[in-house]
Structure 1
Amino acid sequence: MISIIIADDEPITRQGLSILPWEEEGFVLAGLVSNGLEALELIRSRGSDILLTDIRMPGMNGLELMECARIEHPQLKVIFITAYHQLEYALKAIQLGASGFVLKPTDPDEIMNECRKVKESIDGERERKKAAKDIQERLKEYQYMLESKVKADASPGRMSGVVGNIVREMETRYMEDLTLQLFSQQYHFHPDYLTRLFKKETGDNFVNVLVRIRMQKAVGLLGDGSIKVYEIAERVGVRDSRYFGQLFKKHYGVTPHEFRKRLQSGQAETEEP
């Protein structure tokens, strides 16, 4: 249900608005007040999804009410009741981000129609937020599974101190241009010896472990639709986005774009080859 608060200083208007079939339309009438100050206190104490308010009211007009209320409740949608001659107020309301207007004398059907439009907008926002939350929950599951796979293949706890430290660094510095040569210089080992030691301790070679870590990190980023795939490639240390796509498909059987679509539909799979 969508909650709505009505503010109007005309008793006849308030009476007429109070008898509209709010519940039948999916609304809860959370309050009916005669001025802006009362409306602001009600919004602060109870909260609301929609504010239906007259623009011209004594004490605090509708525009001032909207500005004050949205400081604390930025998601509040506001529908203004205004007269034809109040054009300057209407323009200001548009600048403030009003969700709708109803002209006086008020028509019940017109009022309810505007409220329905705003309700659809709120329902849409809630669905998008729910979908985003579901995606994040699935991502947590996928990341946990992938992290478990990486750790099972190369767990620093089961390795020698040097290789364990290298793997830990790979998990935090994966976005850098890492090579075994770099680590051989850092830990003062001959590259050939460190190659054999790394393979013995992890069961795989340096490049494959690094790629698995990078792909696992990429999965987490693909849940954010605002990040382009080529940006994800750069963030996980693969400078060539085309090569990144090839690596991702080799690991998961689908391209990053396909995986993102499946993730959004709840069908993503992250099986390692």
Structure 2
Amino acid sequence: MTFRAIRILKEVGCIAAEDTRQTRKLLTHFEIPTRLVSYHEHNKRASGPELVRMMEEGQSIALVSDAGMPAISDPGYDLVCLAIEAGIDVVPIPGANAALSALIISGLPTERFLFAGFLPRERKKLKEELERLRSVPATLIFYESPHRITKTLEVMREVWGDHPIAVVRELTKRYEEVLRGSFGECLDILQEREPKGEYCLVVDRNGVDPASGSGEAGDWWIGLSVAEHVAKYERETGDKKEAMKRAAADRNVSKRDIYNALLQK
């Protein structure tokens, strides 16, 4: 919490909170008596217009999320849009943000990054989303829950190969921790102990070629035999069919051509 945030919460007429129970603890700690109302994903369609009506009547309202900055991967975004449509000023009160905090301590490139939020839960849709992001040459940032973290890392390694990653949890809290290494190295650690807390994944994809999505820019495979080319992808993905598919895409030939070349080696 910043001094400015505490002052604003004391001055506004009302505080819209994602979780009123959690926010009440915060207000009690800082001796803030301001009225609390509920605003979250499940009541935003009814609560949002009512909050806008209150602001149009002259009330000032502070928006507080359950954790981190409001409107980042939470329903605060919808309220901001409603306020803008109504011509109401929206003023940011900067505070802790998991995505940027994780990027800063990751040790990975910060010149170009993409925050991609939460990934799909279903495996097929997860793979499709990672394939779409495969050609983005940047440091990628994701939010993930403890019960899905291992599966997500496994699918990332399957789709992208073994890239440098920082696995960061409980940012700005008591048990803040960061793991740095490859997907495989971080998976080994997570499989030895039960993942706990909210996670941020920071993945270095800065070396990819946007045209091909390859983990190394340009025709890096020139000079490799087809067998060596396929073997490299197979080591990264653990899947020979996927390795052949990627090698065929790199060489602009069919998978049948790759298969025949492997038979002749």
Q: Write 1 or 2 for the structure with the bigger share of helix.
A: 1
Structure label with greater radius of gyration: 1
Give yes or no for TM over 0.5.
no
Q: TM-score, normalised by structure 1?
A: 0.25
For normalisation by structure 2, the TM-score amounts to 0.26
